[in-house]
Amino acid sequence: MTEGSAPVTSHSPKNVTALDSPIWGRSFSDDEMRAIFCSERYLAACTEVEVALARAQAGLGLIPAEAADGIAAASLQPLDHDRLARETEIVGYPILPIVEQLSVTAGEAGKYLHWGATTQDIMDTATVLQIRDGLDLVARRVEGVRRALAGLARTHRDTPMAGRTHMQHALPVTFGYKAATWLSGFDRHAERLEQLSPRVLNVQFSGASGTLASLSGRGLETQSALAAELGLGVPAITWHSIRDGIAETVQTLALIGGSLAKIAGDVAIMMTTELSEVAEPFVRHRGASSTMPQKANPISCELILAGARLMRNHASAMLDAMIHDHERATGPSHLEFSAVPEGFATISGMLAQAEFMLEGLRVYPENMGRNLDHSRGLIVAEAVMMALAPHTGRKEAHDIVYAGCRRAVEGSMSLYDALKDEVALTSHLEVELLKSLTEPRNYLGEAPEMVDRVLAGR
């Protein structure tokens, strides 16, 4: 715990959510993120802001230096958590109860505690400190996912498989190409996280209505000094009722969650018994059924998919939380008490599951090849059509090949066999060319080169 962070005795209510459950907790949330956003850390952050404010004001000569020292010393004493909980229920917010306890402990120095501040100054800045640590952890987890995806893309750059649209075979791709498309989204998420910080990691110190009137012309000076103490940015103007920064943070987490769910959805389908193209890492009994010994369910995928739906709810709540009335809202800020910590906790669990799954993903190229050949060449009907089109025109070429596809399906034959005696086609395309065109592995387009572009510079 950092200097200025008060130890807190823990007398928490019973756990009722999946995030805090002793049964489900570690499946849905990362322990490291839980430590950042737990109530103890939040109260410690509030105390840290109060101590930093006293130091900043002492440095400016607004309060005596010994008062700042006394406040810092008092902050190291444990708070009475039971009393704090009772008083917070009455007041509605924890800052007044914290200030009252610290003031008594600080003695004479307590007269200068919370000088010129208002409750939301402390609460918002404490939340920003948590967000800073949370974003650092999210960025590290995103980097872990990017490394795993880059490894898959590189290893399977040329591993052919069926591309699928509307759950049907479309055209051949490579598994490396699929992994690289996943990776491209996380490259953009890394950019988003970097760009987000300057807009969000700003101090909140503005007084009751946001004008800093209580400090007699030295408010902006105090604000800058407090920001320097905490290593935060200085906003151009008060943001306590303008919540786009906090909302953007949770929306960004939800975007990351959506990308994780895209991967999880693809992997879960590829894990189906009929496809068996990939599998989650083997851990004894992971994904096992109580009655079917053969089962290996996509557990990480399921948790990620569930988490994405929870993230959508938090993102939606934060849009409502932006609607603050005038200079201090009547309720919307309470939505943040749930959406911010739970959003960070949920995305941390999703990222941890994704790292585990992708780092140990078992890939079966032979099954990908088997599935690619399942349609007996129909997957590359476009290749034949595009080769014929310069001779007949695109529409007529489409009609010729379409009729051949219907014969192949109805006669359970290969596309090549369905087309090799079609005079309208063979009068333009030689048999050997037709054989080459109906081989799916010859129609990968520029997928491998696209993988190279995504991996360039890594």
Positions marked active-site: 166, 289
CA distance 234 to 220: 9
Backbone φ and ψ for 140, nearest 5 degrees, come out as -65, -40
Which residues, at least 6 apart from 98, have a Cβ–Cβ distance to it below 8 Å? 43, 46, 47, 50, 79, 84
3-state class (DSSP) for residue 149 = helix
Instruction: Please name the amino acid found at residue 220.
Output: L
Angle between helices 381-392 and 394-411 (to 10 degrees): 140
Please state the φ and ψ torsions of residue 125, each to the nearest 5 degrees. Answer: -65, -40
What is the helix (H) or strand (E) element at residue 161, kind and residue range?
strand 160-165
Cβ-proximal residues to 160 (8 Å cutoff; 6+ apart), any chain: 172, 173, 174, 368, 369, 372, 440, 441, 444
Q: Is residue 162 classed as helix, strand or coil in its secondary structure?
A: strand
Distances (CA, A) of 322 to 92, 250, 348, 405: 20, 12, 24, 55
Side chain identity at residue 399, one-letter code:
D
Q: What is the DSSP letter of 280?
A: P
182 contacts 203 by C-beta, under 8 angstroms: no
Residue spans of beta strands (DSSP E) within 248-299: 278-279
The residue among 289, 293, 298 whose CA lies nearest residue 271 is 298
Q: Which residue has the tokens 């750059």?
A: 157
Query: How far is Cα 219 from Cα 19, in angstroms, rounded to an integer?
Result: 40
Bridge partners (DSSP) of residue 279 are 362
**Cα-based distances in Å from 133 to 33, 38, 52, 187, 228:** 9, 12, 18, 21, 17
Q: What does the longest C-alpha to C-alpha distance in the chain come to?
A: 102
The residue whose two tokens read 């990691």 is 201
Answer yes or no: are the C-beta atoms of 149 and 179 closer than 8 Å.
Answer: yes
Local structure of 439: helix, strand or coil? coil
Helix ranges (H only) for 201-243 are 219-230
